[in-house]
C-alpha cells in the first residue's frame, strides 16, 4: 500500500514574547526514509526557554538521525542537560517520534502532555512502557514513557505542549485549564466534521482554540504537532512549453489524465493547454493583488496563474512560511496553499524559447524559471517534508 506521512505543526507564542519557548524539529533521513519529529518545551518563556528547547531538540534529532535507540538517546540527553538549581526541575521537556516508511512509529515522552492517537476518528489507547530516571539533583521522581505503534491508513498522532492543556486556566468553565480529556474531545469533534482534515489545518485549529480559551492572549507558548498517515495527495505543476512542439499534445494529455490536482503557471502554458484540450480559458480579475497578476480559470484545471511573478511570490511564501499569505484569494496564495496541502509535487518545466518575442532575455528567463522551481521544491522538502520531482521537457 502506498502511504504518505503528513506532518505539520503550529504555534501561538506567549503574549508579550517575540519568540516561542517551545521548539519543533522535523527531518527525513535519505538512507531509510524515516521521519523524525521532536517537540521540546524549554523552562520559562522567551529567548532563554527557546535556547533550552532548541539545544534539547537538536540533540535529540541528531541522535535519532544517527540511528541511536531513542530510549538510549533520551537517557543521554537527560544526563547531559542540567537541572535548574532553584526549581530543581529539568531545563526542558521533550517528545521524540520516529516513523519508518511503512508506518512503524516509536514515541518517547518526557514530561510533555501525553500524545493523542486517533484511529477511525476516535481516541485510541496506547500501551506505554515506563522507565524511571535516577538523577540525584532532581527533586521529584522522573520517568520517560516509551510506546510503539503500527500505523494504519487514516491514523493520527497529535503532540502538544502544556500551553494547550493549560489553556483557559482560571477562567469560568476551565478552573484547571482545558485539560487532556477535553483536548481529546475537541480533536474528535474536528474528525467528525472532516475525517480527511490535513495536519496543517488540525494543528492550527487546535492552537487557535487554545488561544481563544486564553481570551485571545496566549498565557504560555501553545504548540501542536500532528502526524497523519494517509494515501498521498499529488499535485502537478506545469510551467513553460516543451522544447519540441511535438510534445505539446502529449503534455496536455498528461495534464488531463493526472489523478491529482493541477496548476498551470504562465500564459503561454495555459494557452497551449487550452488549445490542445479545446477548453476555454477565462481571466478571473478578482484573483489579483498589486504584486501578483490575476489568475485564470479552465475546466478540469485546479488553478491557472501568471508565470514568473506568481512563481516568485509562491517561493517567498513557502520559504518564509508566511501563514498569513495562505489565507489570501490571489493566485500565489492559492498556489502555495495547494502545494502545502499536497504530499507529492511533480514539476514539469518547459524549455522552449518563444521565438515570436525576439527577446534576448528569454533564455535567461528560462534559467530564472528553473531556479525558482528549485526554490519552491527545496522549501517544500525542507519546511514541509513534502516529496518533489522535477522534469524538464
Helix (H) or strand (E) holding 87: none
Q: Of 11, 15, 10, whose CA–CA distance to 215 is shortest? A: 15
* pLDDT on residue 356: 44
Position 255 pLDDT exceeds 90: yes
Q: What mean pLDDT do residues 153-166 have? A: 97
pLDDT band at 90 (very low <50, low <70, confident <90, very high): low
Q: What mean pLDDT do residues 278-300 have? A: 90
* pLDDT on residue 362: 45
Does the pTM surpass 0.85? The reply is no
Please report which residue ranges of 66-198 form alpha helices under DSSP H.
70-80, 162-165, 179-193
Position 363 pLDDT exceeds 50: no
**Range of lowest pLDDT (129-143, 241-255, 341-355):** 129-143
Handedness of CA 61, 63, 66, 69 (dihedral sign): negative
pLDDT band at 331 (very low <50, low <70, confident <90, very high): very high
pLDDT band at 68 (very low <50, low <70, confident <90, very high): confident
**How far, in Å, are 110, 185, 264, 290 from residue 368 at the CA level?**
47, 49, 17, 22
Rounded to whole angstroms, the Cα distance separating 166 from 179 reads 6
* pLDDT on residue 1: 52
- What are the residue boundaries of the structural domains of the chain, listed by start? 4-230, 234-392
* pLDDT on residue 358: 44
Give the number of other CB atoms < 10 A from CB of residue 233. Answer: 17
Q: What mean pLDDT do residues 337-363 have? A: 75
Percentage of residues in the chain having pLDDT higher than 70: 92
The CATH class of the 234-392 domain is alpha beta
Do the Cβ atoms of 347 and 391 come closer than 8 Å?
Answer: yes
Give the number of other CB atoms < 10 A from CB of residue 171. Answer: 14
Position 329 pLDDT exceeds 60: yes
Do the Cβ atoms of 37 and 26 come closer than 8 Å?
Answer: yes
Q: What mean pLDDT do residues 15-22 have? A: 94
* pLDDT on residue 109: 95
Better-scored residue on pLDDT, 70 or 217:
217
CATH 3.30.2270.10 matches 4-230: no
Q: What mean pLDDT do residues 250-271 have? A: 96
The mean pLDDT value of the chain amounts to 89
Position 64 pLDDT exceeds 70: yes
Amino acid at each position: 500500500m502506498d502511504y504518505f506521512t503528513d506532518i505539520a505543526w503550529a504555534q501561538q507564542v506567549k503574549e508579550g514574547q517575540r519568540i516561542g519557548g517551545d521548539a519543533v524539529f522535523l527531518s527525513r533521513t535519505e538512507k531509510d526514509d524515516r521521519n523524525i519529529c521532536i517537540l521540546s518545551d524549554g523552562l520559562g518563556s522567551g529567548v532563554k526557554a527557546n535556547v533550552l528547547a532548541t539545544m534539547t531538540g537538536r540533540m535529540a534529532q541528531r541522535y535519532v538521525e544517527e540511528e541511536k535507540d531513542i530510549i538510549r538517546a533520551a537517557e543521554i540527553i537527560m544526563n547531559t542537560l542540567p537541572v535548574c538549581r532553584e526549581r530543581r526541575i529539568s531545563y526542558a521537556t521533550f517528545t521524540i517520534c520516529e516513523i519508518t516508511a511503512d508506518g512503524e512509529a516509536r514515541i518517547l515522552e518526557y514530561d510533555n502532555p501525553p500524545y493523542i492517537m486517533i484511529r477511525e476518528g476516535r481516541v485510541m489507547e496506547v500501551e506505554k512502557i515506563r522507565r524511571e530516571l535516577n538523577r540525584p539533583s532532581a527533586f521529584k521522581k522522573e520517568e520517560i514513557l516509551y510506546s510503539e505503534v503500527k500505523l494504519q491508513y487514516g491514523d493520527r498522532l497529535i503532540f502538544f505542549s502544556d500551553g494547550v492543556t493549560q489553556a483557559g486556566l482560571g477562567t469560568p468553565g476551565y478552573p484547571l485549564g482545558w485539560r487532556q480529556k477535553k483536548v481529546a474531545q475537541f480533536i474528535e469533534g474536528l474528525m467528525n466534521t472532516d475525517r480527511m482534515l490535513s495536519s496543517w489545518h488540525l494543528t492550527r485549529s487546535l492552537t487557535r482554540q487554545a488561544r481563544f480559551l486564553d481570551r485571545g492572549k496566549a498565557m504560555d507558548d501553545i504548540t501542536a504537532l500532528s502526524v497523519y498517515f494517509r494515501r498521498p495527495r499529488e499535485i502537478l505543476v506545469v510551467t513553460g512549453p516543451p522544447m519540441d512542439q511535438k510534445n505539446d499534445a502529449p503534455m496536455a494529455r498528461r495534464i488531463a489524465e493526472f489523478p491529482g490536482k493541477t496548476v498551470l503557471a504562465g500564459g503561454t502554458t495555459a494557452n497551449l493547454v487550452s488549445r490542445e484540450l479545446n477548453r476555454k480559458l477565462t481571466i478571473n480579475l478578482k484573483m489579483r493583488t498589486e504584486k501578483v497578476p490575476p489568475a485564470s480559470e479552465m475546466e478540469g484545471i485546479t488553478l491557472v496563474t501568471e508565470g514568473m511573478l506568481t512563481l516568485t511570490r509562491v517561493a517567498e511564501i513557502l520559504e518564509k512560511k508566511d501563514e498569513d499569505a495562505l489565507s489570501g484569494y490571489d493566485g500565489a496564495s492559492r498556489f502555495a496553499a495547494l502545494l502545502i496541502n499536497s504530499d507529492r509535487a511533480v514539476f514539469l518545466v518547459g524549455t522552449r524559447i518563444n521565438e515570436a518575442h525576439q527577446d534576448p532575455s528569454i533564455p535567461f528567463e528560462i534559467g530564472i524559471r528553473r531556479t525558482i522551481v528549485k526554490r519552491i521544491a527545496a522549501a517544500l522538502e525542507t519546511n514541509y517534508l513534502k516529496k518533489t520531482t522535477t522534469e524538464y521537457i
